[in-house]
Chains A and B, each alone.
Chain A
Amino acid sequence: MLRREKDRASVLVNVDADRSAVEAARRDPRAFEALYRKYVAQVYNFALYELRDPHAAEDLTAQVFLRALAGLRHFREQAEPPHSSFRVWLFQIARNALSNERRRSRRHPDAPLDAALELSAADDVPATAAQRDELRAALRAIDRLPADRRRALVLRFVDELDAREIGQVLGRSEGATRVLIHRSLQAVARQLGRNRGVDDTERTAERRRAAN
């Protein structure tokens, strides 16, 4: 009895929040606009963090939505494992488009992540100079991570996907994705600790110079 209730609960949890919008868009493709408006910024952010160029990110975003509209009849929501939702499917298209783009242009973005995102211009979040410096250091550390780790952090913190969804986008299990994110965070923490160590040494040296 309890088990049956648990099973039903897990199926309910895994039902795609976009199911009715997807069904509407299947019946009438004009209804796809609602899904587009809901996810355009998320897909754009994912592309921007990877390509580091607003125009390239816009091109990729356009590709993703045109492909999604064209392929909507191939998308199948799955409540049973492996669970799949419209949002996951959209990010899978984005990941594939990104891989194709990388293969086509055969070059990786030159701009460092912190510079490309123009942190100083992003003044929507009131932050002190120290906080901004720390974030810049964290972004530099993220920049040095392997692609999968970097993408996992962007999907988790910027697009707010959970570990299960990120796993589906990256082709990993939920547990492996959690470990991947945890290890990425540890790597960034180590880098921040190292930077703080350097800062402390510089500050001590400055203080000594001032005392002399």
Chain B
Amino acid sequence: MYREAEEGAIQSDAYIDALLSGHARLPVALPVAQHAPAPSVRHVIRVLDRGMPRFHPSFLFEERLAEQLRALAEQGNQGSPAVLIERRVVIGGAIASGVSLAGAAMWAWRHRPRAEAGQD
């Protein structure tokens, strides 16, 4: 059963390869009928090969990310980019925890018992 599927799979794979090589303008040699996959599978392969849309990210996004990567690479020339990313995370984390500690302190001060506030 699996061997049968494997044979069919090899035929499908060769058929897809032949169609995809057409995209690269290479000579297309489709497998002869006896080695080709079943007509229904062949049909699906053609539908997907012809129709599955390919997209490109927006120009703005591509350029923005390129700039980010360039900046990271520039910094990476002075040290490993991995270290820089880790350092940014650590610094970011420290700032975030500092801010939340200050927030908690502020909340505690505002909600302190009135009597205690009167003593001040």
- The docked-state distance in angstroms from the alpha carbon of A183 to that of B40 is 12
Residues of B within 8 A of A156 (CB): 16
List B residues 45-80 near A (Cβ within 8 Å). 45, 47-58, 61-62, 65-66, 68-70, 72-74, 76-77, 80
The main secondary structure of chain A at its interface with chain B is helix
List B residues 1-21 near A (Cβ within 8 Å). 2, 5-6, 8-10, 12-13, 16-17, 20
Which of A29, A132, A175, A193 interacts with B72 by CB under 8 Å?
A: A29
- The docked-state distance in angstroms from the alpha carbon of A72 to that of B80 is 10
Say yes or no for B43: interface residue by CB 8 A criterion: yes
Say yes or no for B41: interface residue by CB 8 A criterion: yes
* A59 vs chain B, min Cβ distance (A): 10
- The docked-state distance in angstroms from the alpha carbon of A139 to that of B37 is 21
- The docked-state distance in angstroms from the alpha carbon of A186 to that of B61 is 37
Interface residues on A, range: 35 or more
Residues of B within 8 A of A81 (CB): none
Say yes or no for B44: interface residue by CB 8 A criterion: yes
Say yes or no for A115: interface residue by CB 8 A criterion: no
- The docked-state distance in angstroms from the alpha carbon of A54 to that of B12 is 31
* B17 vs chain A, min Cβ distance (A): 7
Contact indicator A69/B65 (Cβ below 8 Å)? no
Contact indicator A30/B82 (Cβ below 8 Å)? no
* A195 vs chain B, min Cβ distance (A): 12
Residues of B within 8 A of A186 (CB): 40-41
Which of A162, A178, A189 interacts with B43 by CB under 8 Å?
A: A189
- Closest residue to B39 on the A side, CB-wise? A189
Which of A36, A73, A189 interacts with B40 by CB under 8 Å?
A: A189
- Closest residue to A71 on the B side, CB-wise? B82
Contact indicator A192/B66 (Cβ below 8 Å)? no
Identify the interface centre among A28, A139, A156: most chain B CB within 10 Å of its CB. A156
Q: A179-B2, A181-B9 are in contact. Are A188 and B51 (CB under 8 A)?
A: no
Residues of B within 8 A of A189 (CB): 38, 40-41, 43-44
Residues of A within 8 A of B77 (CB): 28-30
Say yes or no for B23: interface residue by CB 8 A criterion: yes
* B10 vs chain A, min Cβ distance (A): 6
- The docked-state distance in angstroms from the alpha carbon of A37 to that of B51 is 24
Residues of A within 8 A of B54 (CB): 41, 45, 158
Binary CB contact string for chain A from 175 to 207 against chain B (1 if under 8 A, 0 otherwise): 100110111011011101100000000000000
- The docked-state distance in angstroms from the alpha carbon of A65 to that of B81 is 12
Contact indicator A185/B17 (Cβ below 8 Å)? no
Identify the interface centre among A57, A117, A185: most chain B CB within 10 Å of its CB. A185
- Closest residue to B49 on the A side, CB-wise? A157
Residues of B within 8 A of A73 (CB): 80, 82
Say yes or no for A86: interface residue by CB 8 A criterion: no
Which of B37, B45, B57 interacts with A61 by CB under 8 Å?
A: B57
Q: A36-B69, A69-B76, A178-B9 are in contact. Are A185 and B53 (CB under 8 A)?
A: no
Known A32-B73, A69-B76, A135-B52; 4 more pairs at CB < 8 Å: A36-B69, A117-B55, A158-B53, A182-B13
